[in-house]
Amino acid sequence: MSQVMVDVHGVHKSFGPLEVLRGVDLKVRTGEVTVILGPSGSGKSTLLRTINHLEKVDRGWIGVDGELIGYRRSGGKLYELKEKDVLAQRTRIGFVFQNFHLFPHLTVLDNLVEAPVSALRRPRKEAEAAARLLLARVGLADKAGAYPRQLSGGQQQRVAIARALAVEPKVLLFDEPTSALDPELVGEVLDVIKDLARTGTTMIVVTHEIGFAREVADTVVFMDGGVVVEQGPPAAVLDAPRQERTRAFLSKVL
Ligand code: ADP
Ligand code: MG
């Protein structure tokens, strides 16, 4: 069995009186695709945000590639990492947002080159060459000089995926990557994610695209009320769910 890349262990997170994550456990193995399904408000985005420490957990811990996120252990004690060390961890965890979040004032190429040069200290020439290969991979080799506003939503999201890949992330997190797109543009973005799955990129994808989950996921996770209600291979969770809450959700979205 392959190694565990992402290990979420007993994670709790509250916002004021609202407990949004109530003891989440999740293991994602290297090279596997995990799709997270669940109703709005169930804590999916918050969970993704804890994995790259955009949200600090109240209880539990998260490991990525054997490193504790946000902390280091020394002499049996836990110490919070300094901001620059958190940023270094975050750089190697790719995040693709619903609304693309490209830098509007930078060209497509410069969007891809920014993090490798400024955070990873790669030589600019090298970063540009790598960026051009990534643009070709998402079918946008001819858009290197364009600005985000000149692109369709589907093209912008493909740039965002290429940008996330530019730092050679250990894991890619997607938060509803196709929810903001016109229906006719969803397919081109899912095709890029499918291609990454085939080449063994470790990914966690929050989505409502059940067909995509069935086709691409190694594991489907159903979340509700801040906990993982059920998880397993797509055929088990989607076609023979064991929990009533999973059945109720699927009957609404299928
Ligand atoms: P999902 O992505 O599954 O729709 P979220 O993780 O975005 O769920 O949100 C779960 C709950 O936490 C929601 O009730 C949301 O309003 C609340 N929440 C999320 N982020 C914050 C925040 N920064 N402050 C207060 N409440 C928040
Ligand atoms: Mg969300």
Residue at 106 is within a domain: yes
The pLDDT assigned to 49 comes to: 98
pLDDT, tens digit, for every residue of 179-204? 999 999 999 999 999 999 999 999 99
Residue 191 or residue 2, greater confidence: 191
The pLDDT assigned to 2 comes to: 78
Minimum-distance ligand 1 atom for the alpha carbon of 55:
23
Q: Total structural domains in the chain? A: 1
Report the chain's terminal Cα–Cα distance, integer Å: 32
The binding-site residues of ligand 1, defined as CB within 6 angstroms of any ligand atom, are 15, 18, 20, 38, 40-46
Residue nearest to atom 23 of ligand 1 (CA): 15
Looking at the chain, the number of H-run helices and the number of E-run strands are 9, 12
Residue at 45 is within a domain: no
Query: Which of 15, 176, 249 best tests ligand 1's pocket when mutated (most atoms within 8 Å of CB)?
Result: 15
254: pLDDT strictly greater than 90? no
Tell me which residue range forms the domain holding 163.
Answer: 99-168
The pLDDT assigned to 71 comes to: 95
DSSP, collapsed to helix, strand or coil, labels residue 46 as: helix
Residue at 186 is within a domain: no
| Ligand with an atom nearest the CA of residue 49 | 1
Residue at 116 is within a domain: yes
pLDDT, tens digit, for every residue of 221-244? 999 999 999 999 999 999 999 999
The pLDDT assigned to 253 comes to: 87
Alpha helices in 70-152 (DSSP H): 83-91, 108-118, 124-137
Work out the mean pLDDT of the chain and round it to a whole number: 96
62 and 68 in contact (C-beta within 8 Å)?
A: yes
Residue at 29 is within a domain: no
Query: Which of 14, 20, 174, 208 best tests ligand 1's pocket when mutated (most atoms within 8 Å of CB)?
Result: 20
98: pLDDT strictly greater than 70? yes
Query: Which of 8, 14, 18, 223 best tests ligand 1's pocket when mutated (most atoms within 8 Å of CB)?
Result: 18
- Of all residues in the chain, the percent with pLDDT exceeding 70 is 100
| Ligand with an atom nearest the CA of residue 41 | 1
Residue at 144 is within a domain: yes
Q: How confident is the model at residue 1 (pLDDT cuts 50, 70, 90)?
A: low
Residue nearest to atom 13 of ligand 1 (CA): 41
Q: Give the ipTM.
A: 0.98
Residue at 114 is within a domain: yes
Mean pLDDT computed over 154-175: 98
Residue at 194 is within a domain: no
